[in-house]
């Protein structure tokens, strides 16, 4: 959920509220993996180096958005690895729910970086409530 909010923050920096998400996705899709060296440190609250590195005069807003998606996915990867270590398991797939799951570019970035199949829930109606329930169970250690 926090990752989606951060992606929304990037949207506000470079596009108007009326700009369709698909336009952002298509601009980022034109940028090669690695965003030509542009990186986003996504741990905005606890890192003194939060923000973008590798920005040049040739950097476009597509670079910023792709770097944000890749940075958020790298953070997801670190969190998943920690969860696997603590829980003594190995994830075999990632099930995505909610609005961010409609971003096919981000889904592909996740599949590539995590090296596991990424599936999107077909159920849209109660996905947000279900993901909140999962977070609550995780938070309470149930």
Top pLDDT among 104 and 5 is at 104
Q: What is the pTM of this model?
A: 0.77
- Local confidence band at 81 (pLDDT 50, 70, 90 cut-offs): very high
pLDDT value, residue 78: 93
Residue 137 has pLDDT above 50, yes or no: no
Kindly state the tokens that stand for 134: 């999962």
What residues contact residue 142 under an 8 Å CB cut-off, 6+ apart? Answer: none
The C-alpha atoms of residue 72 and residue 7 are separated, in whole angstroms, by: 8
The C-alpha atoms of residue 3 and residue 65 are separated, in whole angstroms, by: 12
Cα angle, residue 20 at apex, residues 16 and 62 outer, rounded to 5°: 75
pLDDT value, residue 49: 73
CATH of the domain spanning 2-140: 3.30.420.40
- Local confidence band at 4 (pLDDT 50, 70, 90 cut-offs): very low
Domain ranges of the chain: 2-140
The three-state secondary structure class of 125 is: coil
């Amino acid at each position: 959920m926090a990752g989606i909010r951060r992606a929304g923050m990037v949207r506000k920096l470079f596009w108007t509220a009326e700009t369709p998400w698909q336009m952002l996705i298509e601009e980022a899709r034109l940028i090669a993996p690695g965003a030509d060296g542009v990186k986003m440190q996504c741990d905005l609250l606890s890192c003194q180096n939060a923000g973008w590195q590798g920005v040049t005069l040739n950097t476009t807003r597509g670079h910023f958005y792709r770097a944000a998606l890749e940075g958020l996915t790298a953070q997801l990867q670190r969190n998943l690895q920690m969860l696997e270590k603590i829980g003594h398991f190995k994830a075999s797939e990632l099930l995505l729910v909610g609005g961010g799951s409609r971003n096919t570019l981000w889904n592909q970035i996740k599949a590539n970086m995590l090296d596991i199949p990424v599936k999107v829930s077909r159920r849209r109606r109660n996905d947000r409530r279900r993901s909140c329930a999962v977070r609550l169970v995780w938070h309470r250690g149930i």
